[in-house]
A and B are shown apart, each in its own frame.
Chain A
Amino acid sequence: MSKCQRYYEIISAFVDSQANALEQLALQEHLKSCNTCKNELASQYALKDMMRSYQAVHTDLDLSSNIMRQIRYKRQEDEHLAEIMHYQAKVPNRWVALGVMFAMTATALFLGSGSTVYAQKPDPAKEYASYIYQHVNDEEYRSSYQPTDNSIKQVSFIR
Chain B
Amino acid sequence: MRVVALLILLIIPTIGLSDEIIYYNINHNGESLSFFNMLGAPVPPMVQEISRRTLRKPFMPKRIDPNRYKVSIVQNITWQGMTVTQYDYKPVINDRFRHILWVLPDTNEIVKLEIYDANDKLIYCAICLEHDHSLQTNKTKEQPEERLTAERFDGFVNVSKEEAADGYIRMLYSDGLNRFSVFRTPLKEAKKEAERLVVYGNYLYNKDVGNFRYTVVGTIPYEKMEEFVNVLSVVNVDKNSGDIE
Contact = CB atoms under 8 A, between A and B. Distances in A.
A146 B199 CA distance: 31
A28 B22 contact: yes
Interface in A128-152: 128-138, 140-148, 150-152
Given A129-B11, A136-B53, A141-B174, A123 B34 contact: no
A157 interface: yes
A106 interface: no
Contact of A124 (B29, B33, B159): B29
A159 B30 CA distance: 32
Interface string A68-105: 00000000000000000000000000000000000000
Nearest to A45: B41
A155 B151 contact: yes
Given A135-B172, A138-B53, A129 B46 contact: yes
A45 B140 CA distance: 38
Interface string B193-213: 000010110101000000000
Interface residues of A, number: 48
Given A132-B200, A145-B145, A145-B146, A41 B8 contact: no
A59 interface: no
A14 B32 CA distance: 12
Contacts of A119: none
Interface of B: 1, 3-4, 7-8, 11-12, 22-23, 25, 28-30, 32-34, 36, 38-42, 46, 49-50, 53-54, 56-57, 63, 137, 139-140, 144-153, 159-160, 170, 172, 174, 179-181, 183, 197, 199-200, 202, 204, 215, 217-218, 231, 234-235, 243-245
Given A145-B145, A150-B148, 16 more contacts: A39-B40, A41-B41, A42-B40, A49-B1, A125-B46, A128-B199, A131-B199, A132-B50, A132-B199, A132-B202, A133-B11, A133-B12, A145-B139, A151-B148, A153-B150, A153-B243
Closest 6 CB pairs between A and B? A42-B40, A135-B181, A140-B160, A145-B144, A135-B217, A136-B53
